[in-house]
Amino acid sequence: MKALMLDEPKDIKVVEIPIEKIKSSDEILIKVKAAGICGSDISIYNGTSPVATYPRILGHEVVGVVEEIGSTVTKFKFGDHVIVKQTESCGECYACKHGRDNVCIDLKVRGVNIDGGYREYVTVPETSAYVIPKDLDFKTAVLIEPFTIAFQACSRGRLEADDILLVYGAGALGSSVIQVAKSFGATIITVDIEDEKLKKAKELGASYAINGKEQDVKEEIKKITNGYGPTICIDTVCNPKSVEFLIDVVGNAGRVVLMGFDMNESHIPQFKITAREIDVIGSRLQHEKFEKVIDLFADKSIDPKDAISHVFHFEDISKAMEVVESRKFRKIILTFNEE
């Protein structure tokens, strides 16, 4: 079968690998239909990921059809449409035993430090897949995975309906956070430097949109929050300055949720955190959020129309990466096993 192999940064190509087969009674064989290219895939491709290993088959946003099931599988049947969980964990460490398997001490992430789904077939344990509605087209279904990341961030921030949430950045990640946060009932402020993104953010559910190039962001936030500040900030810009800014503007007893892997240092006096008893919270991947997000897709609470800007057959990966290099895209989808 064919797969996309990244031998080293910037060197990705179509290769032939042995056909995927079920190796354990609890596994399912999935015929891959579509997969997404996300920011972490791009960082691995560019060689800037702090956690990836090479050579590697990328891809953790993966959907397809169940082709075969192991003898002890009970959750699935032939022909089910499914989405693949991003991770495998040990189940035994402190994190796993306390509902935090997304930060397992021996965490394996598909497409990062174990092979992912940019291939025609993939096998996973039945615990690592979820049934998706058959009336949801595969390209749209790919977007469920990034929305689980957004749901995790909102959950880690303990978001509630009476919160005022500042989503810092209105790109792909910020847009997904806004839509998830809307389902919680929170009031949402978003900040970006592009009017088009801010306009879209308001269409998706943000009550307020601030252009960081044209407005005094701190003053606008004070006006909106009557001087208190947001009760939660979620950082989707993810650089040292964004962290510093959000700790400055968040209100007393507020929470700042960080999602980035930037290795550069932020400079934050402890006083800014302790004096207002701010929680600074990391959010990585997701824990048990797939079914929640699938339900939001099924009842149209999340409708990611216009989120996909480009679709390529996986063998046209070089064209897809040209679009990535252009930086002029929203979501890029790769298709497999088209019929």
Predicted confidence at residue 303, as pLDDT, reads 82
Question: Can you list the domains of the chain with their CATH numbers?
Answer: 2-143+307-335 (3.90.180.10), 150-282 (3.40.50.720)
CA angle in degrees (0–180, nearest 5) for 154-132-258: 20
Report the predicted TM-score, pTM, of the whole model to 2 decimal places.
0.94
Model confidence at 330: pLDDT above 90: no
Q: Which residues contact 291 (CB under 8 A, 6 or more apart)?
A: 130
Q: How far apart (Å, rounded) are the C-alpha atoms in residues 178 and 243?
A: 19
CB count within 10 Å of CB 159 equals 25
Predicted confidence at residue 328, as pLDDT, reads 86
Residue 137 vs residues 24, 64, 68, 132, 268: alpha-carbon distances, Å: 29, 10, 21, 10, 45
Residue 21 structure tokens = 């087969």
DSSP-derived pairing of the beta strands 129-131 and 164-168: unpaired
Residue 295 structure tokens = 């339900």
Tell me how far apart the 2 most distant CA atoms of the chain are, in Å. Answer: 62
CB count within 10 Å of CB 33 equals 22
- The type of residue at 247 is I
Predicted confidence at residue 237, as pLDDT, reads 96
Split at pLDDT 50, 70, 90, the class of 235 is very high
Closest CA to 261 of 59, 114, 52, 118: 52
Q: Which residues contact 53 (CB under 8 A, 6 or more apart)?
A: 112, 113
Model confidence at 339: pLDDT above 80: no
Q: Which residues contact 158 (CB under 8 A, 6 or more apart)?
A: 232, 255
Q: DSSP for 114-172?
A: B--S-BSEEEEEGGGEEE--TTS-HHHHTTHHHHHHHHHHHHHTT--TT-EEEEE--SH
Split at pLDDT 50, 70, 90, the class of 123 is very high
Closest CA to 26 of 108, 124, 132, 129: 124
Split at pLDDT 50, 70, 90, the class of 306 is confident
